[in-house]
Chain A
Amino acid sequence: MSLRRAALVLGALLSHWRKRPLQLAMLLAGLMLATALWSGVQAINAEARASYATAASRLGTGALARLQPAPGSVLTTGDHVRLRRAGWLVSPVAEGQLRLGGARVSVMGIEPVTRLGLASAGGGVGETEELLRFITPPGLGYANAETAAALESADLGGLTIRLDPDAPANTLIVDIGIAQSLLRLEDRLTALILAEDQPVGLPPLTEAAPHLVRVEPGQGSTDPSALTRSFHLNLTAFALLSFIVGLFITQSAVGLAFEQRRPMLRTLRALGVARAEVMALMAAELAIAALVAGAAGIVLGWAMAAALMPGVAATLSGLYGAEVSGALALRPGWVASGLAMALAGTALAGARGLAQTARMPLLAAGQAAPWAEATARGLRRQALAAAVLIAGVPLCLAVGGLVAGFAALACGLLAAALLLPVALDAALRLAAKLARGVLTGWFVADTRQQLGGLSLALMALMLALAANIGVGTMVGSFRATFTGWLDQRLAAELYVTARTEPEAAAIRVWLGERADAVLPIWNAEAPLADQPGRVYGFIDHATYRESWPMLSAEPGVWERVAQGEAALVNEQLARRAELRLGDPLDLPGGPLPIAGIYSDYGNPNPQAMIGLDAFTARFPGAPRLYQAVRVPPEDAAGLAEAMRDEFDLPASAVVDQDRAKRVSLQIFDRTFAVTAALNVLTLAVAGIALLTGLLTLASIRLPQLAPVWAAGIPRARLARLDLARTLILALATAVYAVPVGLGLAWMLLTVINVEAFGWRLPMLVSPDLLARLGVAALLTALAAGSLPALRLARITPGKLLRVFADER
């Protein structure tokens, strides 16, 4: 086909939209919103991954192996010097968190001279003069603008901060000595980074440093990309759901366009345009729409991601300790992914219409096939497809794993969506039997006829409502459980972190006369069931016996743990390693049987607790800085103040229970702020889908309305009946969405959360949430149904009469 002819026919096809701008707007809006929600989440994920990668390459934690102290031992500057003298090419690292009021900044201490020998470690420091300033107190630090602003009011001992846009998010890079001072590590180090190529003939590490273990790249407990994978997968799953809901709009608009243009397509073919040419040009038309709406969607997604990014950054930092920049950079990856999804989604939405065009006989009757009739034929097929999908749910669950969990969820949701029109049709058939009065009978019959045309939009609304109910119930259950858990877990009134061990000892003595009890809580990193984890030592006290959030325990658990005869493990560890009560837990210094399993929400890592004496015996080098303090609640504030004055402690060293809970709940709420925003957007998209469906029907159902109008029902009454129909269908859809949404919540709580986080929560149904969503469904339907109803009320008699005219 020549370009000239292609342009002519494409022009004719596109002219259809000039006469129907609203329909075009709906098509583009559907695609744009679908792309925006998808690409917005992809932008967030891409930014987070880039932050992890920047941190890994800038700090040398990604590509090179590290030497870390074995559980119970300590890595010091002396170890570094000894290994260097033995010929090992290593560079020391001192890492830690600097608390600044409620916020935290990561401090990364490096040794620039030895680091230069590690080709791929990065983190080098420039000119000689700058190098001298970097290593000489008060020192020079590097941070990005955001981190530098956060450090403005901090007491860093005169450290100068130089802005470095390439510095990892929320991280201050300083000389190793400065870091040890800021973090009060004395001469302790966190790790030694090993150069890739070492000289030959070195003494083996087992001899040179027997107390150090080699950790290969990506194996450590600090790899943020591994820790946050489930969080990003959750976001992606939600974005995909929103994308699918957006595609319902596109499918609806494209389907209508195909129906409306059947006569035009036949005319084009009768005038000499080949079937293949028509198909190719219609595909081109869809591709143009996809690219235009996709580009707009990417811009909208960008704006959405930019608005949500600070919240996500706070969540990732608070929940996983993963530092992500709150700003957003333009990355070609997600732009391409957004456009590809727009094209793929449009192809999917337009496939049915294109297939119908390919099969459309040239000489069939010119009238469009009734939309409702065509869809009604599909009800049986939909029920069959739903049955197949439902059968897939237990299969996916049997496979296990997070992806299979999401697949089971997708099967269940899709099956429920496919069954919605079947259920509504059955309800309407029943209503038809019960209907009394001619107008009621017509109303029910007409509603049944409209069902086919509205089913896609109603399915989109149902999915959006079910997602809202499911995620809302999950978050509500999580919050209620989390709040109760915090009350149990943060039972002590004050939590104190000393700067040094002598200071910690002095504080404990000082508190001995003033507090009801001082409960040391010391911890050390240790592999637990072959995973990086943390072991805590604690003393036996009524605080734990009365309030510790135990999920299951053997009799006499507290006595056995206090005597060093047993250990407690968190739920995550028990589930991941399939450990039960009585099973042995491998710990440095020998295994201990598990006597209790406790809930530990918000922590992605395995954790174990043992008696304090057993802990100090097994982990002699662990820092002994942290303790909980029991005092009458009314005395807590005064004691905290007195303690700060006595020991000249910074404000952040003493945290009261209220503040700890407040911060924890803030982190929790921020964690789900993104999900809540996506929920609202999905419901808005479903509203647009409903509007599209109603406008679609309004444009092709005049032949059904004209006879009723001619029989004496005024246009205004017809319009009111139309609006009532929309509201009734929306309400029925909301009722249908309740069990689907609760099923979704159950799956999220018992399958997805267990797979993603390692904990299981009780499900708490909130009647408030259900009532709010019912109202939201009605408001959405009211907003979507008003315009078509208004148009019907104002339609000219001439347009209705045209239905009866012999001449067109």
Chain B
Amino acid sequence: MLRGVDLTVRRGESVAITGESGSGKSTLLHLIGGLDAADEGALTVLGTDLRTAPDRARAALRRDHVGMIFQQFNLIPSLTVAANLAFQARLAGRHDPARVRALAEELGLSPLMDRYPEQLSGGQQQRVAIGRALAGDPPLVLADEPTGNLDEATGDAVAQAMLALVRRRGSALVLVTHSLPLAGLCDRRVHLRAGRLT
């Protein structure tokens, strides 16, 4: 599906990947996150060769160094907002309650900490997902259509918040989106067509 894709992302840089449906945007993002494995080629993320790494090593990379944000939010429905926010940081062993509280404040989630995901709006859920991805202070954040399930106004607000937080922490961001205005907010934009970067 992906052919001759050559992409290097530096620390602190935000890169938007755009393209039509089926062009391979999400596949590229999944490969970078170690959620999928490439048939051939080389893929090194933070020094880990993901082509040969076993499931346990790829899981460790995501857990310790990557923050993931999904279109469907993918929160754990049986945990509260507070528990969801802190979840990945605690998995990585980098849980800092003060940082989680600050993130919640910045994302406007402080009054919602004891609620469950089903009690939140889509925009609120996505803000929890962003907070969860950033709470462990990962060097790389991967976002797959983070505003795809939100209305325009909510999507804009969520995107602004996400970019501001990522930049402030100096993490690299790879963002897959259909939205050209959102892509325009990133440092760099690459376009995928039929599996090739253009």
Contacts and interface: CB of A to CB of B under 8 A. Distances in A.
Interface string B54-88: 01100111111010101011111111000100011
B93 A272 contact: no
A130 interface: no
A200 interface: no
B110 interface: no
Contact of A275 (B55, B79, B91): B55
A12 B74 contact: no
A264 B116 CA distance: 14
A272 B78 contact: no
Given A5-B91, A9-B91, A808-B122, A274 B76 contact: no
Nearest to A274: B59
A2 to B, nearest CB: 7
A12 B93 contact: no
Contacts of B30: 363
Interface string A13-42: 001111100000000000000000000000
Contacts of A15: 76, 78-79, 83
B8 interface: no
B35 A270 contact: yes
B76 A272 contact: no
Contact of A270 (B74, B77, B125): B74
A276 B55 contact: yes
B56 A12 contact: no
A267 B128 CA distance: 14
Contacts of A19: 77-78, 116
Contacts, number: 88
Nearest to A7: B90
B13 interface: no
A8 interface: yes
A274 B91 contact: no
Interface in A337-371: 362-363, 366
B198 interface: no
B69 to A, nearest CB: 10
B186 to A, nearest CB: 22
Contact of A266 (B56, B60, B74, B132): B74
Interface string B18-48: 0000000000001001011000000000000
Interface in A729-753: none
A426 B35 CA distance: 42
A269 interface: yes
A273 interface: yes
Given A5-B90, A9-B91, A808-B72, 5 more contacts: A4-B90, A12-B78, A15-B79, A272-B88, A274-B56
Top 6 nearest A-B pairs (CB, nearest first) are A272-B63, A15-B78, A274-B59, A807-B122, A272-B62, A267-B74
Interface of B: 30, 33, 35-36, 55-56, 59-64, 66, 68, 70, 72-79, 83, 87-88, 90-93, 116, 121-122, 125, 132, 149-150
Interface of A: 2, 4-5, 8-9, 12, 15-19, 263-264, 266-277, 362-363, 366, 806-808
28 contacts: A4-B93, A5-B93, A8-B90, A12-B76, A12-B87, A15-B79, A16-B78, A19-B78, A267-B74, A267-B76, A268-B76, A270-B62, A270-B68, A271-B63, A271-B132, A272-B59, A272-B62, A272-B63, A272-B64, A272-B66, A274-B56, A274-B59, A275-B55, A275-B59, A277-B59, A363-B36, A807-B150, A808-B122
